[in-house]
A and B are shown apart, each in its own frame.
Chain A
Amino acid sequence: MNNLIKGEKHDWEMVIGLEIHAQVKSNSKLFSSSSTKFGSSPNSQVSLVDAAMPGMLPVINKYCVEQAIKTGVGLNAKINNYSVFDRKNYFYADLPQGYQISQYKYPIVGEGKVTIDFKDGTSKDIRIVRLHLEQDAGKSLHDQNPSKTYVDLNRSGVALMEIVSEPDIRTPDEAGMYISKIRSILMYLDTCDGNMQEGSLRADVNISVRKPGDEYGTRCEIKNLNSIKFIKQAINYEAKRQIEILESGGSIEQNTMLFNTSTCKTRPMRNKEEAHDYRYFPDPDLLPLEISKEEIGKIKSSIPELPDELKNKFIETYKLSNYDASVLTAEKQTSDYFNETINSDSELKNHAKIVVNWITSELFSLLNKNNQDLNNSPISPENLGQLIKLISTNEISGKIAKDVLEDMFSSGKTARQIVDEKGLQQVTDQGEIAKVIDEVIAENSKMVEQYLAGKDKLLGFFVGQAMKLTKGKANPKMLNDILKQKLIKKN
């Protein structure tokens, strides 16, 4: 696979690492009991601790710790029995304490890895450096008043997991696949809701470029990207920018960049000299976090099947391709839907590939067209299963099934109801089909002659005519067979 990009003078390789910030799915904040609900009115979910009132103290939310451990297990990572909360000191209006409680030297989760799967069936491991817990900041609202900034502290203190990768990523697509995979794992584990629009999952991208085989170049960090599309755009722009500088004889300044989503360009936010000295030190208000092997074992045993395990299971059980299985398992709702569909009738297990196709192409495109999600699909897995059963038992043709699916989608009726009401059962009566074919042959004698003279393509025309007369209900295979037989006899 060639991952290089062409510059004016050389080929270049991108070296990319991601820091993903994933909001922990939890009812209350990391160090206070305030609600974490998104979209509530400003400053309605702020405790005395979140507002950093004098004398207020943080108390660790054990559930958030468990969620972090679960995530660590999902990332095939080492869980640390001993970790420490540190203070990261800086001033900002939406940081009430004047410091963020984070983990610096001793994170709760150490090294791990995740696997990304390519369409061609190959896959690649991306190594994880660490995962640590930290507090989110509040929000500064600059657009509410021409001369004032308002601060909303609802988000202040919400638990985040920062997941740091090694610089193992080489293309924007890989970056997209990596974050999708992390998102998928978090959602399977139910440790993050994965909602990128609401900011539950966002990433900082570190990127440098080099000539293949060279040492790593100087990197820049693009802050706070909240969609896969933006991540790819930002990487593409930033890589080009760096290559242009290097090819014209310049050097890269180690900058922190911001990405403008309307111009699709990055611009520097601060350079290395302006970088903060965060003066990290262990938070004296909190004891080190000590987690016993037993506790970790207990959490491990509570973990549901993860996408990679499920993928392998699907490949083995249903003989699916690696790619099909990875598409099915990319989102928990998809694999759940697939499981429910295929288990709705014992017959369907022998038609797994058909089930996959009907979910991932037909149903998905209908949902897309109607701006809907599998979670609120008007077609239940049982009903889809019924439809596929009708196909596999030759009661209806695949072509008709597509119309039935659309009908099911809009009317909410079952496949069986629709097929019965509209009389869509396939015609499998040989005599009936033969009668129709005779009719077609009789009405198109000139064409029959041409066919017999060697114009094979006309076969399709006869099939079409016969289908038309049966309103598409004739069993295609029988129709073909009988037609061929009759034409041979004519010869």
Chain B
Amino acid sequence: MPKSSLKQTLQDLDTKKISIRELNQDYLKRIKENENLNVFIYFSEDNVLKQIDNLENDNSAKKLKGIPIAIKDLFCTKSMPTTAASKILENFNPTYESFVTQKLLDEGSIFVGKTNLDEFAMGSATNTSFFGNTINPLSKENEPLAPGGSSGGSAAAVAADLCLGATGTDTGGSIRQPASFCGVVGIKPTYGLCSRWGIAAFASSLDQAGIFSHNVEDASILLQSIAGFDQRDSTSAKVDIPNYFENLDDNLNGKTVGIPKEYSIDGTPMEISQIWEDAIKVLEKKGVKIKNISLPHTKYALPTYYIIAPAEASSNLARYDGVKYGFRSDEIDSLDEMYENTRAQGFGREVKRRILIGTYVLSAGYYDAYYLKAQKVRKLIADDFNKAFKECDFIVTPTAPSAAFPLNEKQNDPIKMYLNDVFTVPASLAGLPGISIPFGKDKNNLPLGIQILGKHFDEQQVFNAAVSLERSYE
């Protein structure tokens, strides 16, 4: 099934080769044909048709006019409910539009629906959702595969060509890992590039919005649309957003790539080591200098992440208490009972597990040993990168330690599940931009991903390296 690119579609719309209605009806048809994948938590054909009507009556020029986009159901949207894949927000209808989705609406894009995710973005397989698993579109008959997570719905939506791009959020790898599993492009920009305003929070110091797309060019177009300073988010960065697409340059001659030795981990499948080597060879051929670098604190990244993220989550999710909005248990005889039953019934197992971990590591007597120490290690990890980037322009690693795994695997082994983030978490802790692009296949013909990391706010270099690798691979 040849997937048309966003760039091509924009041209086709411009030259009237296709109308907005025709384009979106094509996507609507595919969405309905693929309902079994459980990609969307919210989908309404009427809602999409209404958006088409509105755009047809709109004569202004808009950059993404008529482009079908899928939205991770963690972004608050006015025209569609927002659940964070949790029972506790079932039927929650925000009265406000997140910064990122508002930007996409301003550009004239059409929201085809709200995509499935791990509950409150906590997971690596989109299997902790209150609304059921999403199935990886690359699954073979009778052997359903996980799409990765937490933004598995968005990754699957792009992979199954149910949209021309999708939003995701990445806290420890939630864009890059599912992009790798589904064979699509996924970019998590620098922390602070896109405002978090209107995104249900998981771990505030790590959460960052990003993009899924069919190719690097499309990602560069879409990221530019959602980036920018927002005074409503104190951690939003005041930086100029370049025209990533116009500036794309696949000539990497004279650049230096860093190859961190700590990312060679025992037990990594051969195929993954192989595509990493292949990528390095391609870059070398393009005149890129190969530099072996060391990020010595890498091995502490995962435990550090699994202290900081749950700590912040335990506090961020305290607002879901049944008092103001969302689900409230019927069994309430006292205020305490309302909290206990609402949260016991409203949250799933993984969310509860992380709230407990987070509460524990912040508790009196444990704070110094866990949270404070983790913050110190986080600083060391960031320093590792800062040092490394004095010697190289970008870093290349595998995205995930495996290809997409069967749906029910690792379900009952949280540690195994957490290991999925081993290559993605360090950059999250350091707030660096990272992209995953499909690069090679495993023995079962499943896609594997290469991750490119860049300096803070150097998304352009990340895109340039990515587009160069992508073009050489095609």
> Which A residues are within 8 Å of any B CB, using their own CB?
48, 51-60, 87, 89, 91-93, 96-99, 149, 151, 277, 279-281, 284-287
Contacts and interface: CB of A to CB of B under 8 A. Distances in A.
Given A54-B84, A55-B196, A287-B234, A87 B315 contact: yes
A58 B94 contact: no
Contacts of A89: 314-315, 318, 362
A99 B96 contact: no
B151 to A, nearest CB: 16
Contacts of A51: 324
Contacts of A55: 75-76, 94, 98, 196-201
A279 B321 contact: no
B94 A281 contact: no
B50 interface: no
Interface residues on B, range: 35 or more
B321 A91 contact: yes
B94 A53 contact: yes
Interface in B316-342: 317-319, 321, 323-325, 335, 339
Contact of B321 (A57, A58, A60, A98): A98
Contact of B315 (A48, A149, A281): A281
Q: Is the interface of B mostly helix, strand, loop or mixed?
A: loop
Nearest to B343: A91
A60 B233 CA distance: 10
Nearest to A51: B324
Interface in B79-99: 82, 84, 89, 92, 94-96, 98
B82 A54 contact: yes
A56 B201 CA distance: 9
B234 A97 contact: no
Contacts of B311: 281
A93 B197 contact: no
B76 A57 contact: no
A371 B250 CA distance: 82
Contacts of A97: 318-319
Contacts of B274: none
A76 B335 CA distance: 43
A52 B324 contact: yes
A48 B325 CA distance: 12
Contacts of A53: 76, 94, 96, 324-325
Interface in B51-107: 75-76, 82, 84, 89, 92, 94-96, 98
Report which residue of B94, B98, B323 has the largest number of chain A beta carbons within 10 angstroms of its beta carbon: B323
Contact of A284 (B203, B232, B335): B203
Q: What 9 A-B pairs are tightest by C-beta distance, nearest first?
A: A98-B318, A284-B204, A284-B205, A279-B362, A54-B200, A52-B319, A55-B198, A277-B364, A55-B199
Given A57-B234, A59-B232, A91-B318, A96 B323 contact: yes
A284 B232 CA distance: 14
Contacts of B319: 52, 54, 96-98
Contacts of A56: 197-198
A57 B207 CA distance: 13
A277 B315 CA distance: 13
Contacts of B321: 91, 98
Nearest to A92: B335
24 contacts: A48-B96, A53-B324, A53-B325, A54-B92, A54-B319, A55-B200, A57-B197, A59-B232, A59-B233, A59-B234, A91-B339, A92-B335, A96-B319, A98-B319, A98-B321, A99-B315, A279-B314, A279-B315, A279-B359, A281-B371, A284-B203, A285-B204, A285-B234, A285-B235
Contacts of B335: 92-93, 149
B86 to A, nearest CB: 10
Contact of A60 (B234, B324, B364): B234
A287 B92 CA distance: 30
A279 B232 contact: no
Contacts of A60: 234
B312 interface: yes
Contacts of A59: 231-234
A83 to B, nearest CB: 14
B367 interface: yes
Report which residue of A89, A279, A285, A287 has the largest number of chain B beta carbons within 10 angstroms of its beta carbon: A279
Nearest to B371: A281
Contact of B367 (A48, A87, A151, A281): A281
B363 interface: yes
Contact of B89 (A52, A54, A287): A54
Contacts of A286: 234
Nearest to A93: B323
A96 B325 CA distance: 10
A277 B365 CA distance: 10
Nearest to A54: B200
Nearest to B335: A93
A91 B337 CA distance: 12
B76 A54 contact: yes
A55 B235 CA distance: 13
B42 to A, nearest CB: 15
Interface string B380-397: 000000000000000000
Given A52-B324, A54-B89, A149-B335, A287 B235 contact: yes
Contacts of A285: 201, 204, 234-235
Contacts of A57: 196-197, 232-234
A48 B311 CA distance: 24
B96 to A, nearest CB: 6
A87 B358 CA distance: 14
Contacts of A98: 315, 317-319, 321
Report which residue of A58, A277, A281 has the largest number of chain B beta carbons within 10 angstroms of its beta carbon: A281
